Chain A
Amino acid sequence: MNKKLILLFLSLFYCSTLFAQQGIFDEANTLFENGELNEAMALYRFIESEAQVSGALFLNMGITAVQLDSLGLAKYYFLKAQDFETTAQQANEALEFVNSQFSRQSAILPKLPWDRAVDWINDEITAFGLFLIGFLITIAGLTLLYLGWFDKLPLKKTSPYLITLIITGSALAGLAFYADYVNQRYDEAVLISNSQRVLQQPEPESTLVSIAYEGYDLTVDQWKSEEHDNWLYIRLGNGQFGWMRNEGVKIF
């Protein structure tokens, strides 16, 4: 009885949180329609800081940023909206527009097939999804093994299948951990300030590697960046690496 009450209370609390969030979102949309863009953006940011987010929220934030003439920020929000099925198409259209507005465009080095595969795992099926697939395949192989042990199936005949299943399942589980490691270590980011110097070392007087401009896509090595406060170790779209001050960089 008590358990049911707790469950009911939690459900009500969750629903009330969502209703409150939806209410603030509606209020922000009204402010946006009235042209009070800074106020609308402040409310959108408040929702973003809460636990629940949505594609619509990020899309509207992107449009607000475009109207505030902050294209780098707009790109960041449209990229976030792109991750949601409901807003992916509109976010793509918006990104096409925003990218065309930047005065400087970065050369983009295509990713290696292996990196693309890891990105696909993280974006489409997630590391946990792949791990679950690996687990189920492994369990299937082990079930065949147990049946063979207890003479329910002829072990000699099934052994090639069970070995294949166990190895494949374990390899997929291992791959899931690697994809998760990549996901945790490297983050995508967008430069939203006008320009930033990319240096060889995390020191202001260090040799200049390149200059990144507003809207440039960056890959941030979070683990290496933790070694120096206020600095990020980044990879530019053209494959160059270096250190950059963390000001004006929005990380996903």
Chain B
Amino acid sequence: MEAPNMKKIGKLNQFLLLLTFSLISFIPGFAQDVQVEATLSETNIFTGEQVKLELNIHGTSMGSVQQPELPEFDGLRWLRGSTSRGTKYALINGKPSVTYTFGYALIAQSPGNYTIPPVEIEVDGETYRTEPISFEVLDPATLDSGEAERAPDIYVRIELSTNNPVVGQQIIADVVLYFKNGVEVSSYQPTPGWKAEGFWKEELEYPQRAQTSSTIVNGVRYQKARLIQYALFPTKSGELTLSPFEINLSVRSRRSSSDPFGFGLNQERMNIQSTPVKVDVQPLPNLENAEFIGAVGDFKITRKISNPNAFVGESIEIITQISGTGNVPLVNKPEYKLPESLEKYSPQETSAIDRTGRQISGTRTFTDIVIARNEGTYSIPETRVAFYDPQQEEYVIEVLPPLSFNAERDPDVTEITQNNLRFDVKPITGLAQWTSMKATPLHQRTLVWIMIFFPILLTAGAFGYKKYHDRMNTDTAFARSRTARERTNKILSEAEQTTDIKLGYHLIEKTLVQFITDKLNLPPAGLSHNDLILHVEKLGDTETITELKRLLTKCETIAYAPNTSQEALDKDLQKTRDLIKKIGKLS
């Protein structure tokens, strides 16, 4: 019962609109706002292919619009008799508008590049012109039919605005779906979690996404639709790779051989992904005499102080605003040289980012919060900050002028004193106990190393002495050898004190015999001088043997040498000492 009513209302509306237009068109002086537009259904056309040229005349008030005559142009031939005409009425923002559409069927002629010249349209006696349209007519014979057959029915790819940006420069990444005529995409769903490693990623809010247009790829006509648009900002230089973009599709395609009746569409769900895309990101040039805040684009930087006349203890905000287009989310806070006496708090930051259009724009606001605890004038010096302009390919340096503020005591606030404390801890006055807090690591203390090596050395020494002691008690030969020098020294001391030369030489002989027998572990008695010399000869030093022979001979023959003096004895005593040293070393 409701449907007929609805139909009636629809007709009534149409009638009212027509009436409104009729009335408006007869009001003299009513402002006309006429727009004309020409569109060609394809701009890459094969020879013999049919295309449609549409002329749209749009306005708020139009009395009479005549069928436009097409001008003469090459490349396309008008199929006369195929002209269509339509009228559309609408109320936009409370204002009525009308659009007349004239359609012309055209057929492509010989291959080449052509232009449809401006079409003249007469509206209420005034002439309007459309913009010219360029198009290309292609020869299908020149195309590789094998390649066309191999071309996929549908695919997705990431198309970048540039492949050589600098660090921080915005790149537009379009996710574009290509599908052949006859394939109908009823819905699509991007797989979440697409990674753009090395980039800061922002999805653009592009209102005309998913509108299709026609294009020819490798001789195959495809419909293309931009599904999603991202703004990417490289965060590092070098060769970066955008990972494949994955998308789930619901696709309908015409049945061919499997549908004998030729009606109905075949719907299927499919998952496709783009190929990875490489981006060669260039590093930013060096900058001197200014602080680079990480901004790449076109920015305006301002700085102001919230309250130039504040009270002591009141928070004061230094607000820095960075506005413009570019990598707004990646902009860093400029560092200021704030007076030491100010109490500083963690800065706050807010962002307002506009993602509509093809450029990320917005404002990033940084607020430094400081508190003056004393009266006085505080100054923040001039600051030079820079951003990189990729259009100009150079840094733009903005000089932020110096700021200052006064801090005064609030007369209405009583000063906080020690008595206002909410805890009873009192400061300590008077003599304090001073101490050093320096703590040297253990491994850097000499005393520690001495304490480590002392027991080791002591134990090694004690062990060696124990071994020596044990051997002296158990090994007679070793004991005789070790004590030989001591005993001979006693006899030689006795010889030095005597004035009797014969006794002196006797003691020298005794010393030598004693030392050699002890040192070489020979029987203490019963050995002749020759025996002793023979044993010493085995040690091998001829000079020592000669001296030993001389001394022993002199000791034997001293009774027959009445002219021997005390000096000769002293010399021989010294030679005996030297000889004992040499034999001691040889053994």
Q: Does A176 contact B (CB under 8 A)?
A: yes
Given the known inter-chain contacts A139-B455, A184-B441, please indicate yes or no for A54 contacting B432, CB distance below 8 A.
yes
Q: Within 8 Å CB of B427, what residues of A? A: 29, 32, 56, 59-60, 63-64
Contact with A along B543-559 (1 / 0, CB 8 A): 00000000000000000
In angstroms, Cα B427 to Cα A57, docked, is: 9
Q: Does B442 contact A (CB under 8 A)?
A: yes
In this complex, how many residues of chain B approach chain A with their Cβ under 8 Å: the count is 46
* CB–CB A194/B433 < 8 A: no
In angstroms, Cα B374 to Cα A132, docked, is: 51
Give residues 412-469 of B contacting A (CB, 8 Å).
Answer: 415-418, 421-439, 441-443, 445, 448, 451-452, 455, 458-459, 462-463, 466, 469
Q: Within 8 Å CB of A51, what residues of B? A: 436, 438
Chain A nearest Cβ from B418, distance in angstroms: 7
* CB–CB A128/B448 < 8 A: yes
Q: Within 8 Å CB of B425, what residues of A? A: 59, 63, 90, 93-94, 97
* CB–CB A56/B341 < 8 A: no
Q: Does B510 contact A (CB under 8 A)?
A: no
* CB–CB A55/B433 < 8 A: yes
Which B residue sits closest to A252, measured CB to CB?
Answer: B437
Q: Does B346 contact A (CB under 8 A)?
A: yes
Given the known inter-chain contacts A52-B435, A128-B442, please indicate yes or no for A38 contacting B422, CB distance below 8 A.
no
* CB–CB B343/A70 < 8 A: yes
Give residues 186-205 of A contacting B (CB, 8 Å).
Answer: 193-196, 205
Q: Within 8 Å CB of B416, what residues of A? A: 35, 67
In angstroms, Cα B427 to Cα A67, docked, is: 12
* CB–CB B346/A248 < 8 A: yes
* CB–CB B441/A180 < 8 A: yes
Chain A nearest Cβ from B428, distance in angstroms: 4
Q: Which of A5-13, A110-118, A144-152, A231-239 contacts B (4 or more CB under 8 A)?
A: A144-152
Contact with A along B336-358 (1 / 0, CB 8 A): 00000101011000000000000
Given the known inter-chain contacts A60-B427, A86-B433, A128-B448, please indicate yes or no for A150 contacting B346, CB distance below 8 A.
no
* CB–CB A67/B421 < 8 A: yes
* CB–CB B345/A127 < 8 A: no
In angstroms, Cα B430 to Cα A21, docked, is: 12
Q: Within 8 Å CB of A183, what residues of B? A: 439
Chain A interface size, as a band, is 35 or more
Q: Does A18 contact B (CB under 8 A)?
A: yes
Q: Does B235 contact A (CB under 8 A)?
A: yes
Which A residue sits closest to B417, measured CB to CB?
Answer: A35
The residue from A29, A66, A142 contacting B459, defined by CB atoms under 8 A apart: A142
Q: Within 8 Å CB of B469, what residues of A? A: 150
* CB–CB A93/B424 < 8 A: yes
Given the known inter-chain contacts A38-B374, A63-B421, A180-B442, please indicate yes or no for A53 contacting B437, CB distance below 8 A.
yes
Given the known inter-chain contacts A38-B341, A87-B428, A145-B459, please indicate yes or no for A54 contacting B433, CB distance below 8 A.
yes
Given the known inter-chain contacts A52-B435, A54-B433, A149-B462, please indicate yes or no for A135 contacting B451, CB distance below 8 A.
yes
In angstroms, Cα B435 to Cα A86, docked, is: 12
Which B residue sits closest to A18, measured CB to CB?
Answer: B434
- Per DSSP, chain A at the interface is helix
Q: Does B373 contact A (CB under 8 A)?
A: yes
* CB–CB A52/B436 < 8 A: yes
In angstroms, Cα B458 to Cα A176, docked, is: 22
Q: Within 8 Å CB of A177, what residues of B? A: 442-443
* CB–CB B428/A33 < 8 A: no
* CB–CB B432/A150 < 8 A: no
Q: Within 8 Å CB of A180, what residues of B? A: 441-443
* CB–CB A194/B345 < 8 A: yes
Q: Does A25 contact B (CB under 8 A)?
A: yes
Give residues 59-74 of A contacting B (CB, 8 Å).
Answer: 59-60, 63-64, 66-70
Q: Within 8 Å CB of A86, what residues of B? A: 433
Chain B nearest Cβ from A57, distance in angstroms: 6
In angstroms, Cα B433 to Cα A59, docked, is: 13
Chain B nearest Cβ from A233, distance in angstroms: 20
Q: Does A76 contact B (CB under 8 A)?
A: no
Which A residue sits closest to B462, measured CB to CB?
Answer: A146
Q: Within 8 Å CB of A25, what residues of B? A: 432
Which A residue sits closest to B374, measured CB to CB?
Answer: A38
Q: Does A43 contact B (CB under 8 A)?
A: no
Chain B nearest Cβ from A140, distance in angstroms: 11
Give residues 96-133 of A contacting B (CB, 8 Å).
Answer: 97, 126-128, 131-132
In angstroms, Cα B445 to Cα A131, docked, is: 12
Give residues 376-424 of B contacting A (CB, 8 Å).
Answer: 415-418, 421-424
* CB–CB B417/A68 < 8 A: no
Given the known inter-chain contacts A38-B374, A55-B433, A60-B428, please indicate yes or no for A66 contacting B418, CB distance below 8 A.
no
Q: Does A219 contact B (CB under 8 A)?
A: no
Q: Within 8 Å CB of B443, what residues of A? A: 177, 180
* CB–CB A56/B437 < 8 A: no
In angstroms, Cα B442 to Cα A173, docked, is: 10
* CB–CB B442/A131 < 8 A: yes
* CB–CB A29/B455 < 8 A: no
Which B residue sits closest to A67, measured CB to CB?
Answer: B416
Give residues 1-29 of A contacting B (CB, 8 Å).
Answer: 18, 21-22, 25-26, 29
* CB–CB B423/A93 < 8 A: yes
Given the known inter-chain contacts A86-B433, A205-B235, please indicate yes or no for A195 contacting B343, CB distance below 8 A.
no
In angstroms, Cα B198 to Cα A41, docked, is: 46
Q: Does A172 contact B (CB under 8 A)?
A: no
Q: Does A218 contact B (CB under 8 A)?
A: no
Q: Does A37 contact B (CB under 8 A)?
A: yes
* CB–CB A142/B458 < 8 A: yes
In angstroms, Cα B313 to Cα A29, docked, is: 22
Chain A nearest Cβ from B113, distance in angstroms: 48
* CB–CB A53/B445 < 8 A: no
Which B residue sits closest to A87, measured CB to CB?
Answer: B428
Q: Does A138 contact B (CB under 8 A)?
A: yes
Contact with A along B37-60 (1 / 0, CB 8 A): 000000000000000000000000
Q: Within 8 Å CB of B343, what residues of A? A: 68, 70
Chain A nearest Cβ from B447, distance in angstroms: 9
In angstroms, Cα B373 to Cα A38, docked, is: 7
* CB–CB A56/B442 < 8 A: no
Q: Within 8 Å CB of B466, what residues of A? A: 149-150
Which B residue sits closest to A205, measured CB to CB?
Answer: B235
* CB–CB B429/A29 < 8 A: yes
Chain A nearest Cβ from B56, distance in angstroms: 49
Q: Within 8 Å CB of B423, what residues of A? A: 66, 93-94, 97
In angstroms, Cα B422 to Cα A248, docked, is: 25
Chain A nearest Cβ from B552, distance in angstroms: 42
* CB–CB A131/B448 < 8 A: yes
Contact with B along A164-186 (1 / 0, CB 8 A): 00000000010011001001100
The 7 A-B pairs of least Cβ separation, nearest first, read A56-B428, A97-B423, A52-B434, A56-B432, A54-B432, A180-B442, A194-B346
Can you list 11 residue pairs at the A/B interface with Cβ under 8 Å? A32-B427, A54-B432, A56-B427, A60-B428, A84-B433, A128-B448, A142-B458, A142-B459, A145-B459, A149-B463, A248-B346
Given contact pairs A56-B432, A66-B421, A205-B200, enumerate 15 new A-B contacts (beta carbons under 8 Å): A22-B431, A22-B434, A63-B421, A67-B421, A84-B435, A90-B425, A90-B426, A93-B424, A97-B425, A127-B442, A128-B442, A132-B451, A138-B455, A150-B469, A173-B452
